[in-house]
Every structure is written in structure tokens, then in C-alpha cells.
Amino acid sequence: MRKTSVAVFLFLVCALRAWAARPLEVYFIDVEGGQATFVVSPSGQSLLIDTGWPDAKGRDAERIVAAAKLAGLDRIDYLLITHYHMDHVGGVPQLAARIPLRTFLDHGPSVESGKDAAQLFADYQRVRDKGKHQQVKPGDRIPIKGIDVQVLTAADEEITEPLPGAGGPNPFCASVPRHENDPSENAQSVGILITFGKFRMIDLGDLTWNKELELVCPNNKVGSVDVYLSTHHGMNLSGAPAIVHALHPRVAVINNGARKGGSPEAWDTIRSSPGIKDIWQLHYSVAGETDHNAPDPFIANVGNADDVCRGNWIKLTADGSGLFTLTNSRNGKMKIYKPAP
């Protein structure tokens, strides 16, 4: 009996060590200028942020399912819809037909009216009602084992208190003007911070300029991050220098399309951010030309919008020490980033 107990104990210890050694994985899936970011916790639970576009052949849904299979998963535990625009929520029905979606997270009702907006939300709601649903608000945590996922913004609101270690004055605010207020779904975006040990990554959906400033001005309520997923696909409607520079990212990933996002202005803001080491892009930006694109090895899909897109992805792997790796599926380019000092 004693030998059996010892064997069981050793098995549990080995299992716990194996679980602790598993990394955080993030797949930045190419959905042609929309968003579909697939997060796999060391616990094996998954979070998909947005679903890309609808398509007659289910192109984006197929790419998401392929990423799940690469991660060894046959379901999506949490689906977070940042906001109700076609390139973020449009693919939900097609995805639901291909893989189980367990829990739906969003900011609540759509603020946009009109026939198209109403139909888009209704199509999503029809699928959402078949699963579990939670409306999130700033300060909430998404209960994924192994990582901390905190909601920073949702439904035109943001966290009111700074995160631990943050809250200092932001010197970049003084030189950045405000834009006209944005009444669209973009400003409603659910933005999150993912933390795994010392590693931090931020995704603010399509949050627009003024809402970004409210998050970090006059005081930076977020602090710094290791990886910044470019807000709004790297469009100049977002990506205010006051937030990008205050976040002090070491690496940025731009989820742009060939002719959407990756604007020269937003690219310059990221490139000039203090401490930035590299920019990775899902697509070569036609508008960016030579001076506003990452080097070829760091771009997952090259060529212009007339080329057949292969749907190459970028994968991030991180451990709790703060060390992380990015890999380009197009060419196998891999780069390791050591923990911040």
C-alpha cells in the first residue's frame, strides 16, 4: 500500500512540474486585416480574441481551427469579441459550425444602428445564446488557469485605478492632442492585459485615440509591456504616441492587411517608441512601402493585395521568466527575447 502511495505522489509531482514548464502560446492568425488572436494558457485552456471576417468558404474560420489543431486543442474555452465590426465578429457563425465555443465574452449591446449593424449583431447573438455568456467591464478578470487576463477597457470605460506598479505621470501626454470623439463601436472595444509571470502583452482591439489617452493620461494606469499588439491594425486613428511610448514595448506585432492598417504614421510611432527592438507584421503594407515596413524576415505574408494570400501566422511563446520567442510560419524565422532587466 505504501509503495502505491509513493508512486501516486511521484506521478503527481511529475505532472505538476510538466504543467509548470508549459509555456504561454499566442498565435497571431492572418485574417486579412481583421483580428483573430488565439491564446493558449500553460493550463491548456484557450482564449480566442475575435474571429475575423465572414467568407463564403469560411476562410478565416478555417485558419482559426488550423491554429487550434496546431496547439492540440479541439475547442475554444473563451471567445472574446472586442467590438461588433465585420472584421472582428463577422466570422462567429462560420467558426461555431467548425469548433465548439464554450463561453462568449463581450462589452454588451452594440451602440451602432442601421440594418447592417443590427444584422451583424443579431447573427452573433444567435450563436452566443447557445453557449455561456458574460458581459465584461474594466477591472474584470477572465478566469483562465495559468495566466492573468485583466480587462482594461470596455463599453466606453476604462480602469479607474492604476495597476500594481503603475500610476506614474506620463510625460508623453503633453505633446499629444485629442481627436474628435468616436461614437462608433471602435471606442467600445474590450482591451485586455495578459500576464504570465513577468511577461506582459496588451491587446486593445480597435480602441480609438481619445479612449487610449484616457487610459494613460495624465497618469499611466497600465505600466509597461513586453509585447504590444498594434491597436486598430496599426491605423492612424489609434496608436497615439502617448500610449505606445508609455507602454514601452520591446516588441510590436501589427495585425494588418496588405491594404489595411500598417499606416506610415502608426508605424513611425511604434518605431520611435523608447526601448522597441523589433516590429513583426502579418502583412507587408503597400502604403508603407520600403521605409515603413519591417524587414522581410519579420513579415508573415509578403506581396501586395493582388497576390494570393497564404494565411501565414506569427507565433509567440513565453515563459514566466519574461523570456519569449516569436516565430514566422512563412520562413521559420525565430527570434528569442531575453527577460527585461
3 located within any domain: no
Instruction: Give the 3-state secondary structure of residue 288.
Output: coil
CATH number of the domain that residue 121 is part of: 3.60.15.10
* Mean residue pLDDT across the chain: 93
Top pLDDT among 193 and 57 is at 193
Taking 50 as the threshold, does the pLDDT of residue 17 lie above it?
Answer: no
Average pLDDT, integer, range 245-249: 98
Taking 90 as the threshold, does the pLDDT of residue 21 lie above it?
Answer: no
14 located within any domain: no
Total domain count, the chain: 1
Top pLDDT among 248 and 309 is at 248
Q: For residue 248, what are the contacts with CB-CB under 8 A and spacing of at least 6? A: 224, 225, 273, 274, 275
Residue 3 pLDDT class (50, 70, 90 cuts): low
Q: For residue 196, what are the contacts with CB-CB under 8 A and spacing of at least 6? A: 24, 42, 146, 147, 148, 318, 319, 320
DSSP 250-271: SEEEE---SSSS--HHHHHHHH
CB atoms within 10 A of CB 233: 26
Instruction: Specify the pLDDT at position 14.
Output: 46
| Rounded Cα gap, residues 85 and 91, in angstroms | 10
| Rounded Cα gap, residues 220 and 202, in angstroms | 14
Residue 11 pLDDT class (50, 70, 90 cuts): very low
| Rounded Cα gap, residues 245 and 62, in angstroms | 36
15 located within any domain: no
Instruction: Specify the pLDDT at position 1.
Output: 44
Alpha-carbon torsion angle 286, 292, 261, 309, nearest 10: 40
Average pLDDT, integer, range 42-52: 98
Look-up: residue for cell 491548456?
A: 44
254: containing domain: 23-337
Kindly report, residue by residue over 263-287, the tens digit of the pLDDT.
999 999 999 999 999 999 999 999 9
Top pLDDT among 161 and 303 is at 161
96 located within any domain: yes
Residues in the chain: 341
Alpha-carbon torsion angle 258, 260, 264, 270, nearest 10: -100
DSSP 187-243: GG--EEEEEETTEEEEE-TT--HHHHHHHHSSB-SS---SEEEPGGGG-TTS--HHH
Taking 80 as the threshold, does the pLDDT of residue 135 lie above it?
Answer: yes
User: In whole angstroms, how far apart are CA 70 and each of 33, 200, 237?
Assistant: 22, 23, 34
17 located within any domain: no
Residue 340 pLDDT class (50, 70, 90 cuts): confident
Instruction: Specify the pLDDT at position 5.
Output: 56
Alpha-carbon torsion angle 185, 190, 191, 195, nearest 10: -160
Q: What percent of the chain has pLDDT over 90?
A: 89
9 located within any domain: no
Top pLDDT among 330 and 307 is at 330
**Phi, psi at residue 7, to the nearest 5°?**
-65, -45
Residue 310 pLDDT class (50, 70, 90 cuts): confident
62 located within any domain: yes
Q: Can you give the pTM of this predicted structure?
A: 0.93
Kindly report, residue by residue over 139-155, the tens digit of the pLDDT.
999 999 999 999 999 99
233 located within any domain: yes
Burial class (CB in 10 A: 0-12, 13-18, 19+), 222: buried
**Phi, psi at residue 38, to the nearest 5°?**
-110, 115
Looking at the chain, list the stretches that DSSP marks H as alpha helix, in order from N- to C-terminal side. 2-21, 59-70, 86-89, 92-96, 115-128, 209-216, 241-247, 264-271
Cis peptide upstream of residue 171 (ω within 30 degrees of 0): no
Instruction: Specify the pLDDT at position 213.
Output: 97
Kindly report, residue by residue over 176-235, the tens digit of the pLDDT.
999 999 999 999 999 999 999 999 999 999 999 999 999 999 999 999 999 999 999 999
Dihedral sign, CA of 152, 104, 227, 156? negative
Q: What percent of the chain has pLDDT over 70?
A: 93
Instruction: Specify the pLDDT at position 303.
Output: 75
Taking phi over 0 as left and psi of -120 to 50 as alpha, with beta for the rest, 127 belongs to alpha
Instruction: Specify the pLDDT at position 137.
Output: 98
**Residue 232's closest CA among 170, 176, 188?**
188
